[in-house]
Chains A and B, each alone.
Chain A
Amino acid sequence: MRELSLYTGCLIPNRYPGIEKATRLVLDRLDIRWSELKEAACCPAPGIYRSFDKITWLTLASRNLVLAEEKNTDILTICNGCFSSLMDANNILKSDTGLRNEVNSHLKKIGKEYLGTIEVRHIIEFLYKDIGAEKLDKLIEKPLELRAAVHYGCHLLKPTKERKLGGAECPVFFDELVEATGAMSVPYEGKTNCCGAGGGVRSAMLETSLKMTEYKLERMEKAGVDCIVDACPFCHLQYDWGQAELAKAGKAYNIPVVHYSQLLGLALGYEPEEVGLNLNEIINPGFEEKIALVQKGKPR
């Protein structure tokens, strides 16, 4: 297994630092060889920069890729947006010589060159493929007895030709990882639908984006879940802030939102505050009680 450079992007360190903390704790506990990708910048966010100018998007992404190439490590992302930008850019630059030359002509100005020697990983597919749900299951002494609405997020799965993680209509790998923590992945209608945040829609058309979020929340609520489990800080923000925004309009769902790094951290015995669950907008005391009960209980 090649060493990993943890790439946190913008949203996690600057809005949900608890997810960063949880990831660090979990990687260390699992004895994974990793270090920070220092001096990295915005991935850049696919929804806006890829829409605006492909060459700029590729060039900024390639700079982050080169930082990892210089360290001879793969990149580990914990955000679907970062995963999408960095993986797609890496694939494009590896296969298209014309674009690679163009990007390298820009990189030359900062003394860098893209070579195409590393891979881009996402924590979910990394844990699933390189660690395995069974191994995680064995490490967990006090299984979390929670009903979870798993939200994969579009860019973890699609485009499927690029991701190569199987089909996008009814995937199972993320659910298996969630169930390894002792939580139950509850089926719900519209499970693979979008949270509504991407493509620059949240920033420019908040109301529209919240309609898509509500579509999801209604169905999660109907399925009777204790929490939403995501793999991306932008989906996380859309569900968390989105519920706060919808509550102002009189629709309260009160479903806590948990990134998988945080869920795994809880299952490994870290307190909710250590993994930053208290930094969410939506705080549900009933949920915290359930976790406390499990964590204080007898090991299995």
Chain B
Amino acid sequence: MKNSEILTCLQCGTCHASCPSGRYTSLNVRKIVRDSIRKDISDEPELWMCTTCYNCQERCPRGIKVTDAILTLRSEAVKKGEILPAHRKVCRFLIETGNSIPIDDKHRLLRKRLGLGNPEPAHKKALKEVRALLASTKFDELIKA
């Protein structure tokens, strides 16, 4: 990854020590920062274990935007086709419905009971525009690939 900021990393490990995910998983964000300078780590599953909580970014004594770096590394991985099936599914929901979590029958009924309006007609109009934008940024191709 091209990022001059991470070259200032001290390898102090404050980021990893602050990481809620690293407590339970093989994610070691200090190692991610170190390795991403020297090699392509697109296929490392650890990239996807980060909850984007920003603890590491907040506490890094060098002021490195660590979480933002993970987001960049993730998008580089996605360009190489590294997409987890569950995430691909969420993206498909967006392309199909304009929502990442679409409504279902159960919640249609609950909305009615609460006296809340039906947002679906407005969503349909939104969907047309969302699809045009997703085609324009070539997001649909990214997901299909």
Contact = CB atoms under 8 A, between A and B. Distances in A.
B101 A10 contact: yes
A41 B99 contact: yes
B51 A198 contact: yes
B50 A199 contact: yes
B133 A60 contact: yes
A160 to B, nearest CB: 6
Interface string B60-94: 00000101000100110010000111110111001
Most buried by B among A168, A196, A205: A205
B48 A212 contact: no
Contact of B51 (A10, A107, A168, A212): A212
A17 B111 contact: yes
Contacts of B67: 159
Interface string A73-115: 0000000000000000000000000000000001101101000
Interface in B108-144: 110-111, 114-116, 119, 122-123, 125-127, 129-130, 132-134, 136-137, 139, 142
Chain B interface residue count: which class?
Answer: 35 or more
A72 interface: no
A59 B133 contact: yes
Contacts of B51: 47, 154, 194, 196-199, 201, 209, 212
Nearest to B134: A56
Interface stretch (B3-11, B21-29, B31-39): B21-29
Chain A interface residue count: which class?
Answer: 35 or more
B126 A109 contact: no
A106 B136 contact: yes
B125 A39 contact: yes
Interface string A26-38: 0000000000001
A63 B53 CA distance: 26
B48 A205 contact: yes
Interface in A2-52: 10-11, 13-15, 17-18, 20-21, 24, 38-42, 44-52
Given A15-B101, A53-B75, A56-B139, A154 B54 contact: yes
Contacts of A10: 99-102
A38 B129 CA distance: 13
A279 B127 CA distance: 28
A42 B98 contact: yes
B87 A39 contact: no
B50 A212 contact: no
Contacts of B57: 158-159
Contacts of B71: 50-51, 54
Most buried by B among A20, A203, A276: A203
B111 to A, nearest CB: 5
17 contacts: A13-B107, A13-B116, A38-B122, A41-B98, A42-B99, A44-B94, A52-B139, A53-B139, A53-B142, A56-B134, A159-B65, A193-B53, A194-B53, A198-B51, A199-B52, A212-B21, A215-B20
Interface of A: 10-11, 13-15, 17-18, 20-21, 24, 38-42, 44-56, 59-60, 63, 106-107, 109-110, 112, 154-155, 158-160, 168, 193-194, 196-201, 203-205, 208-209, 211-212, 215, 276, 279
